[in-house]
Structure 1
Amino acid sequence: MKSTLSLQAINHAVEEAEQFLKGKRAAAKDVIRIKMGIEEALLTYQNKMGEDAEFSMDMGISFGKKRIRLDIPGAMIDPFISTELNSEEDDFMRQTLVRMGELPRWQYHHGSNRILFTLYKTRRPEWERLLIAVVSAVILGFFMKMMPMDARTLILEDVVSPLLAKFLGFLNAVAGPMIFLSVIWGVYSIGDTTTFSVMGKKLGLKYLFYLCLFTVLAALISLAVFDLRFGDFRGGGELSALYQMVLDIIPDNLFVPFARGNTLQILFEGIVVGIAMLLIRQETRVVADLAEQMSYIINGIMGVISSLVPEFVFGSLFMIIATSENDALAVGGLFFVMTVAVCILSMLIQGVHACAKIKMSPSDLWRKTFPTFVISITTASSSAAFPKNMEICSKELGIDKKMVSFGVPFGQVIYKPAVTILFWFAAISVASHSGTEISLTWYITAILMSVILSAAAPPVPGGMSASFAILFSQLGLPSTDLAMILTLTSVLDFVATATNIFSGQCVLAIVSEEIGFRKPRETIS
């Protein structure tokens, strides 16, 4: 439809959008959210351009996703930028929310303001699809063991195994560009160097401290819990190898890291490019737009790959059971238990630190943060907890609104201590089960990869799966246990999300107190 920005036309557009979404069986909360977004955007343009200005609305389905697109020709105006906040900080928060699916995407395209509302196709919950895949794999796997050897060989080695190899190969191929673009956009979206120096630097260093602390703690605990096969740590060979590993982080060629899948070099390039773009921000706007567009494309591909994870789990477990490698199932027990235990330990450590710093009792801290904990542990969604997280940090923890606007989205994207812990125990569990020889260089590389990947992995469907593929490839771990790890991760995701949200609140309160961005204690409810 095409019309002017009169109040009657705006109301008609909202009604048309509502009928379209209801006709496609969109969830009620999504219908309300998109209706309000359309009305807010069009009223903003009406206020800026007048009622005689024109707009068009297009509705349809693309690649299984319901979408509504608004086009408003004229001056470049982002209707979702708040006038109450610093534009750089607000832009960072908006871009973060867009990537989390909480806000529509806005861009200025060929003289027209374009706003895209997208709803993904409703699917079964991932845990339900994984449960079906596991049960089916167990039943069919045992049935396969009763078949003649020739038939088993044909099905397993000539059909299933090549498909699994192709899936992992494609996952690795897309993972490199995904991490690269995610790092560039994450650094660039910080805003400006002033914002980063005041808030981002302090938060970033505190995040890095805790991520390293918990990973090293998990690594030390692993020495007592897991049966590991160590190489020779004596002599200068290990130190020489470790020094060479540090040097090898800097690539000799910009393109070779992508061809070889060298994650550390890809991350190094992404950080360097992101910082360079941040320092000369105005001159790199076109490059930033291109990086953002490419990031959306890669993330869309990862979403498709993520939807195939249950099928990959089915194929891998089917292979394990059909080939009598049932001992591989044992890899999941310690991985699950140790991940949960260290996540709880990390929350206790950060909670105690926060209580001591902001002079709040543990019971009060728990009472104030409990609502977001419930939301995150029952939904496994940081997006679902985001609005309540913003409210609690501002009203209950007394953090300055400016700090909340920057720190909450920054933390939810960058600071994921539970994911760091999860990556570590996934790596060490598989190394223990497969008998991988562990050297000092391997151990330190595993720690670095766990920390870096937890921060670099984008909060999009498929981000975690791609990160596991990168982790296993970099550490030389067999992919045969990846199915079990991914299956358990779908359950651990609930614990991990709750841990990440609570941890982010604690660190944000600590840093806010340290740099004077917290209200006086007597004014906090």
Structure 2
Amino acid sequence: MAVSAKTLTFRLSKDAVGQISSLTAEALKEGDLEVYDVERLHLAVEQVLLKWLAVLGEGTEGTYRSGKRLGRQYINLSVSGPRVNPFGEDSGDCVLNGGNSVQTLLANIGLTPSYHYVNGENQIALMPKRKKINPLIYLIFSIVAGVFAGLLCRELPYEIRHTFSTVIVTPLFDTFIGLLIATALPMMFLSLIWGIYSIGDTATLGNIGKRVIGRYLGRIYFTLIICALVCLPFFEYAASGSAVSGGEFTAIFSMILNIVPSNLISPFVEGNSLQIIFLAVAFGLAMLILNKKIPVIVQFVGQANNIIQLIMEWITSLLPIIIFISILQLMLTDMLSDMSGLVKLFAIILLCVSANLVLMIMSVSIRRKISPILLVKKLLPSFLVALTTASSAATFSTNMECCEKKLGIHHKLVNFGVPLGTAFSRPGHAAIFFCVCLFMADRYGVPITFSWIFAAVLTCGLLALAVPPVPGGGIACYSILFLQLGIPVEALGIAVVLEIVLDFVSTSLNMVAVPVDMVHVAGRLDMVDENVMRG
């Protein structure tokens, strides 16, 4: 159904609230959204209008706009007057009350409206994500089409096949890789800055918020350590210097010192991802501390992040074509003939994911004295939704229900912790990044030293936080990882295909970790109903 463009001027009143709410519901239904998303966004808009009516009073002029921009639906509401944040920032916003920090996190993944105050106008914007075909369908179709086309091309004479590969397929593939690399670094920089800022005011965050965030970040690096322990016996270790000379320690020490850039420009020119991450964290923390003192900069960074995320979404919308070209490229260049080691990679990933899942289950089972089998049954719906959709947003409502109704976690903690986990729980992406990088380093003859492993663990953990919330978003991160870890750029052809397949696995581990970590935090804060959890 086509989305019609509408613009309507209104004055706040109870009748106007009903009229605008109805228009919003109609526009959302035209956008082919899930029924649950339509109801949630419709209710959010109604609550916003009622808040503005209560504070600004009847007769305040406002404007409603809806339509499509570049194929994506939008709905904007604005009312004139003093700043009135409908999500609670101006009235004792607290993380446990689902304040503005939570709304910002949900808005980043298209689950709620986002709020802005610009030129004397209160504005909310909705850019809902429409219902999409299950990515498994286009994944299978693209792979089958690529293999079929590759088999047909291999029957052609060598001269024709070689010309087709060098003149058409390779330039198309190189263009995509170039576009990916050009977009990846600014995406990582802006995504990390905005992610840190989206946490909310440090004073508001308080002890509870810091515990939740610390738990999610700690989970990422705990997962990477487990992966390193599982993977290393399967790969050959190369020492970078003798134990006497302290070559490994020197390499690690130099790497840590080199994280601090000599200026603001060179990290982007040289593509040094660790230095860019350092700058992003520094800028993000500064924005978090200064907050309301720098509204222009905050608005600029937010808009720049939206732009780069939209560009990345355009790139990933081409995934079926990209997968097809990648498979065809691999077959035409005979790169698949030497890829029997992929079985080894998938086996290692299975071991790593299984080990981490078992440790998650056992940690909750032992500490909270709950049957492992019962806990698995409670977590299974979240795991299956994430595994079949590769979408953290699609798993959001399932995790909310799991945490509150099945695990007995207090609803106030759930309202804060689950949205935060949807944005920051990335142990699955970190684990897959590490395993793929280790496999590619081994395949392309990159020395796997202790300092290399240290760099891989550090970079994979940080880049996992920068993965854009779109299917296949991890592809951009591989270009940065390979550049940082000395892996040849031609390995990206294989990584593109692997990322699409493994994205389902990484998302499932990400989302299962959310209720697990929430249980641990709730237990420490005495915010869990043991009877519900064991029931």
* TM-score, length-scaled by structure 2: 0.88
Unaligned runs of 5+ in 1: none
2:202 maps to: 193
Task: Quickly say closer, same or farther: Cα 1:29–1:503, change in 2 above 3 A.
Answer: closer
The amino acid across from 2:223 in the alignment is F
Cα RMSD of the aligned pairs, angstroms, is 2.8
1:433 maps to: 443
Correspondence list, 1:275-314, <5 A = 275-314=285-324
2:220 maps to: 211
CA distance in 2, matches of 1:517, 1:95: 27
Deviations 1:73-115, CA, capped at 9 Å, x for gaps: 2222233449796169622211110011110222112212222
CA distance in 1, matches of 2:381, 2:460: 29
The CA deviation at 1:354 is: 1.8
Range with greater deviation from structure 2 (497-506 or 344-353): 497-506
The CA deviation at 1:522 is: 5.5
1:63 maps to: 70
Unaligned runs of 5+ in 2: 1-7
CA distance in 1, matches of 2:523, 2:483: 41
The CA deviation at 1:18 is: 4.3
The CA deviation at 1:379 is: 2.9
1:224 maps to: 233
The amino acid across from 2:394 in the alignment is A
The amino acid across from 1:178 in the alignment is M
Range with greater deviation from structure 2 (112-121 or 79-88): 79-88
Deviations 1:266-305, CA, capped at 9 Å, x for gaps: 1111111222222333323332222111111111111011
Instruction: Tell me the SS of whatever aligns to 1:330.
Output: coil
Which of 503, 510, 531 is the equivalent residue of 1:493?
503
Which of 38, 41, 54 is the equivalent residue of 2:45?
38
Deviations 1:347-382, CA, capped at 9 Å, x for gaps: 211221122223333234334434433433333322
The amino acid across from 2:18 in the alignment is N
Range with greater deviation from structure 2 (119-128 or 493-502): 119-128
Which of 463, 481, 485 is the equivalent residue of 1:453?
463
The CA deviation at 1:257 is: 0.8
The CA deviation at 1:19 is: 4.3
CA distance in 1, matches of 2:410, 2:38: 32
1:146 maps to: 155
1:263 maps to: 273
The amino acid across from 1:477 in the alignment is I
The CA deviation at 1:345 is: 1.6
The CA deviation at 1:180 is: 1.4
**Seq. identity, %:** 31
The answer on whether the counterparts of 2:327 and 2:497 sit within 8 Å (CA) in structure 1 is: no
Alignment length, in residue pairs?
Answer: 523
Range with greater deviation from structure 2 (96-105 or 479-488): 479-488
CA distance in 2, matches of 1:123, 1:371: 20
The answer on whether the counterparts of 2:409 and 2:519 sit within 8 Å (CA) in structure 1 is: yes
The answer on whether the counterparts of 2:190 and 2:305 sit within 8 Å (CA) in structure 1 is: yes
1:2 maps to: 9
1:86 maps to: 94
1:47 maps to: 54
Which of 474, 478, 496 is the equivalent residue of 1:464?
474
CA distance in 1, matches of 2:305, 2:265: 18
Correspondence list, 1:331-346, <5 A = 331-346=341-356
Task: Quickly say closer, same or farther: Cα 1:352–1:317, change in 2 above 3 A.
Answer: same
CA distance in 2, matches of 1:382, 1:232: 40
The amino acid across from 2:127 in the alignment is T
Correspondence list, 1:363-512, <5 A = 363-461=373-471, 463-512=473-522
The CA deviation at 1:416 is: 1.6
2:254 maps to: 244
Task: Quickly say closer, same or farther: Cα 1:189–1:89, change in 2 above 3 A.
Answer: farther
Deviations 1:393-442, CA, capped at 9 Å, x for gaps: 34443434443333222223222212111111111222232233323322
The CA deviation at 1:14 is: 3.7
The amino acid across from 2:148 in the alignment is I
Task: Quickly say closer, same or farther: Cα 1:172–1:331, change in 2 above 3 A.
Answer: farther
* TM-score, length-scaled by structure 1: 0.90
The CA deviation at 1:468 is: 1.6
2:122 maps to: 113
The CA deviation at 1:482 is: 3.1
Instruction: Tell me the SS of whatever aligns to 1:115.
Output: strand
CA distance in 2, matches of 1:31, 1:406: 22
The amino acid across from 1:272 in the alignment is A
The answer on whether the counterparts of 2:63 and 2:78 sit within 8 Å (CA) in structure 1 is: yes
Instruction: Tell me the SS of whatever aligns to 2:264.
Output: coil
Task: Quickly say closer, same or farther: Cα 1:26–1:394, change in 2 above 3 A.
Answer: closer
Task: Quickly say closer, same or farther: Cα 1:195–1:360, change in 2 above 3 A.
Answer: farther
The answer on whether the counterparts of 1:380 and 1:493 sit within 8 Å (CA) in structure 2 is: yes
Deviations 1:191-220, CA, capped at 9 Å, x for gaps: 233455613443444444433333222223
2:113 maps to: 104
Task: Quickly say closer, same or farther: Cα 1:146–1:245, change in 2 above 3 A.
Answer: same
Deviations 1:135-167, CA, capped at 9 Å, x for gaps: 222122222233344433332223322232222
Instruction: Tell me the SS of whatever aligns to 2:340.
Output: helix
Range with greater deviation from structure 2 (436-445 or 371-380): 371-380
Instruction: Tell me the SS of whatever aligns to 1:280.
Output: helix
Deviations 1:155-184, CA, capped at 9 Å, x for gaps: 222332223222222212221122112222
The CA deviation at 1:346 is: 0.7
